[in-house]
């Protein structure tokens, strides 16, 4: 893991870009003498790690006493584009905008997100290995992200993750919808009740499917990107209960 | 309003029993120099104001800087029993325990809770008038309670209520299910996902029906009485956002 840039932000958080092989990432760490817990913060498929909403969540969470890390998925952000993935994304956007039925979207979705999840999981685990070797990161490890499919796969595959916060995806590949039963860590599931881009019924079914004994659903109005700011604080309080 | 007893609790909260005509109530107030906002805290139909879970919520909320008031509904707690209401309650308990379908329970439920809500609302409003004349209570006023039907009726009838927290009832009389559309204050709707006594589908439909632009749903596991303790803190933070 090589750090390529370093910036001290006004809230005392240190933001460092890094590369791990071909993987570009960013790590935010608070001013702290002791090692801090780690939060893996993924973003929805296609969004770059520099997405302003992701960066704002990461900074706020880091200022609350966490190391927060994110990486760009293959074909996203600072990584070379794949013609196939770009095509699939464009198809999916068109189909969603055209209001195609969920079952129809599924096929495009599986073909786009299925492989992306499969490819991203080993990269996140390699990043986790490297991060936990840093002296200022202690663990335990949590997941908090808008990419529910990745979070489900990681929570099942990665025993070091002890709590997970998901921003509900109504669209999650079949494999992860089935895998949800195997997720047993405490989880916070955040849903936009009137999210035009995510079928509510499916999101509720996904929440119902998780195997966790402690799972909490938060739902709000405001559309796909209208999550109220107080949910950011609620997410931190969820992490505090399980990582501190 | 006559205070009949007064007790200073170890958390600095002053607990006073009062009577207003035939209505017995309890008021919890924090140690404060300035007038504090008021929270009307109702309990599920049939539970006395002395119910330990209600008292614990009231004390915690008062210690957070609120005046908290509750009263016994007709035929509950310290008030004379009504043979008809007792009978209806017994019928309802039996029917729920026997796992009768929701539609069948509705009839018993309407006959029990409909009149109780109609009778309770003027009593709560009279209590609110009297409480707001006390020098140590300022307002604004919030509602926080397990009795969703009463809360819906009060939130529609009482313009002084600016925010409402409901513990989801899957069973709410038809009149209040329809009235939910007219509720426009910010609300927090708390649901036990695996509540054997409350049909989940109905609770979700009720949440969907509320007319409020700002409404938040919290759902957890743990059965009817298994609400996690952190939800008490979340309820206070909801009140803080709207009453302080």
Domain boundaries, chain A: 2-79+120-243
B133 touches A at CB < 8 Å: no
A228 touches B at CB < 8 Å: yes
| pLDDT score for A77 | 86
Whether the pLDDT of residue B92 is over 90: the answer is: no
Superfamily of domain A2-79+120-243: Alpha/Beta hydrolase fold, catalytic domain (3.40.50.1820)
Whether the pLDDT of residue B17 is over 80: the answer is: yes
Average pLDDT over residues B91-101: 80
Whether the pLDDT of residue B179 is over 90: the answer is: yes
Q: How far, CA to CA in Å, does A195 sit from each of A45, A201, A213?
A: 17, 11, 27
Closest approach of B66 to chain A, Cα-based (Å):
21
Give the residue on B whose Cα is nearest the Cα of A215: B220
Mutate to test the interface with A, among B221, B223, B227, B231 (most CBs of A within 10 A): B221
Give the residue on B whose Cα is nearest the Cα of A228: B214
Q: What is the distance between the alpha carbons of residues A77 and A60, in angstroms, rounded to a whole number?
A: 21
Whether the pLDDT of residue B131 is over 70: the answer is: yes
Whether the pLDDT of residue B104 is over 90: the answer is: no
Q: B149: closest CA among B122, B171, B180, B172?
A: B172
Residue among A213, A218, A221 minimizing CB distance to B214:
A221
| pLDDT score for B47 | 78
Residues of A in contact with B237 (CB under 8 A): 230, 233
Average pLDDT over residues B169-173: 76
Residues of A in contact with B168 (CB under 8 A): none
Residue among B193, B213, B218 minimizing CB distance to A221:
B213
Q: Do A230 and B220 touch (CB under 8 A)?
A: no
Whether the pLDDT of residue B221 is over 80: the answer is: yes
B45: pLDDT confidence band, cut at 50, 70 and 90?
low
Residues with Cβ < 8 Å from B164, sequence gap 6 or more?
B142, B143, B144, B151, B154, B155, B183, B185, B186, B187, B188
B window 174-213, beta carbon within 8 A of A: 193, 204, 207-208, 213
Question: Average model confidence (pLDDT) for chain B?
Answer: 91
Percent of chain B predicted with pLDDT > 90: 64
A215 touches B at CB < 8 Å: yes
Check residue A40 and report its DSSP letter.
E
| pLDDT score for A46 | 67
Whether the pLDDT of residue B53 is over 80: the answer is: yes
| pLDDT score for B12 | 94
Taking 70 as the pLDDT cut, the residues of chain A under it are: 45-46, 170
Residues with Cβ < 8 Å from B130, sequence gap 6 or more?
B1, B20
Whether the pLDDT of residue B46 is over 70: the answer is: no
Q: Do A217 and B193 touch (CB under 8 A)?
A: yes
Mutate to test the interface with A, among B184, B185, B216, B238 (most CBs of A within 10 A): B216
């Amino acid at each position: 893991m090589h750090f390529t840039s370093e910036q001290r932000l006004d809230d005392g958080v240190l933001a460092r870009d890094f590369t791990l092989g071909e993987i570009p990432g960013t790590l935010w760490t608070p001013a702290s003498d002791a090692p801090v817990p780690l939060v893996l913060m993924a973003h929805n498929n296609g969004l770059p790690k520099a997405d302003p909403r992701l960066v704002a969540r990461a900074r706020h969470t880091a200022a609350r006493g966490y190391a927060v890390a994110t990486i760009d998925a293959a074909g996203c952000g600072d990584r070379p584009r794949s013609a196939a993935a770009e095509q699939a994304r464009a198809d999916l956007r068109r189909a969603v905008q055209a209001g195609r039925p969920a079952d129809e979207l599924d096929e495009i979705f599986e073909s786009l997100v299925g492989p992306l999840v499969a490819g991203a999981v080993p990269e996140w685990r390699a990043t986790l290995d490297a991060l936990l070797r840093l002296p200022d990161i202690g663990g335990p490890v949590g997941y908090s992200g808008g990419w529910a499919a990745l979070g489900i796969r990681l929570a099942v595959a990665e025993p070091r993750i002890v709590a997970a916060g998901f921003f509900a995806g109504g669209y999650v590949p079949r494999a992860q919808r089935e895998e949800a039963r195997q997720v047993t860590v405490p989880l916070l599931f955040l849903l936009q009740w009137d999210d035009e881009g995510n079928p509510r019924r499916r999101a509720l079914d996904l929440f119902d499917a998780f195997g966790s004994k402690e799972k909490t659903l938060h739902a709000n109005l405001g559309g796909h990107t209208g999550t109220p700011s107080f949910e950011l604080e609620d997410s931190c309080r969820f992490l505090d209960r399980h990582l501190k």
